[in-house]
Structure 1
Amino acid sequence: MDNSPTALFDSYEQDFKQIISSIRDKLDGEAKGESAEQRKAALRRVEMELDEADEMISQMEIEIQGIPQSLKASFQSRLKSSKNDLTRYKKLSKDVHSQIARTDLLSRASPSGGATFSSDEPYGPNGDRQRLLAGTTILEDGSRRLLDSQRIALETEEQGADILRSLRGQREQIENARDTLQRADTSIDRATGTLKKMIRRMYQQRVVTAAIIFVLVVLICVILWFKLVR
């Protein structure tokens, strides 16, 4: 098992490339098929795979934080390239969605009785044209909401990455504080040992001083006895 700091990034990048390849195949193949249901099913699968690709990008952003600084520049370039690929295929998927929606609207707006319309009213009666314009407006609103959702998701990912960086900094501060406490504990142990030695010496000096005083008292008593008795 590869335990290098770039192993997980490489793994997520490989998964991302496989997903992008699958998306490209679907957009170039099934999404351009003759059957409307086949195109819609292909686009639903593309949307799910785009979500998976987004998740891979998020994981790559997290893993790049742990890569050594000397290697980070090249991996940041690879991450940026992957983000550009994802953005391009999201736009392509949205364009295909719009084309299919317009085709559906035009097919529903076309006359069922085979009548033809002049070039002045290419969409048929005014009612059908109004419905087509309303449908186009709804589609554009949905596209704008989708873009807003994608922007919010990207901002959330950036905030998550900032939180991870903040947590990493706090962990380093805690580790430094723990090391400082360990050094202080060692210093306190040494100081405690020194104090105990000083206390023992103090008691020894007291005993010696008491012994000297006792001997002096005895000598004085002996001297006084000799003086008084003789």
Structure 2
Amino acid sequence: MDSPGGSELFESYEQDYEAIKVSITERLNASGSQNGEPKKQTLRAADREIDEASEILQQMEMELLNLPQSSRTRLQARFRGCKSELERLKQTLKRAQTTSRSTSDRDELLGGLSSGSDLDAASMDQRSRLLNGTDRLAESSRRLQDTHKIALETESIGAGILGDLRGQREQIIHSRNTLLEADSSIDKASRTLKGMARRMATNKLITASIIIVLVGLILFVLYRKIFG
């Protein structure tokens, strides 16, 4: 049986992925016209969103495994398309980061940004990434718990259905045995009635024969008395 709830959950993840993909694309496009620290921040934000998109794809893949074969085949092509898009975005980000690092190294040689500012920005970025990672982990744990709960409920319902089917099977077998016993009793009764009918016919024939003989004897006696 198909699983509409699972398919809807997959499509919900897909919508989340499409939204974050648009954001990543916009950030990568914006970084092309930026330099220095603004470009680094934009690329770091794009990197975080790519991590989030990867988490979403993992959830989509898990949902695919929980779907029946008919739905899984239909949605796998869309999943592969999303995965290919994300790989292209990762390559674009990697090229942009390489360009940014080259530009940053050149700026440092020319007396660019101070090391203190870079350390503060890196510290803030690391803290932000840790917080985002914790949130994603909590959300993934919640989704796994929901999936486990649904699996337990499905198992309980399946066990109840199997119990009902077992009881119905026993009732059918009992009814069949009862019908077989009734059929056997009817056959015996039919044979008994046929035997009784034959005996009654035989008795009637014997009685008729006796009556005929008696009538013949009476007529013979009368004839002898009258004409003898």
Q: TM-score, normalising length from structure 2?
A: 0.48
Specify the structure having the higher radius of gyration (Cα).
Answer: 2
- Structure 1 or 2: more helix by fraction: 2
Q: Which has the higher contact order (CA 8 A, sep 6+)?
A: 2
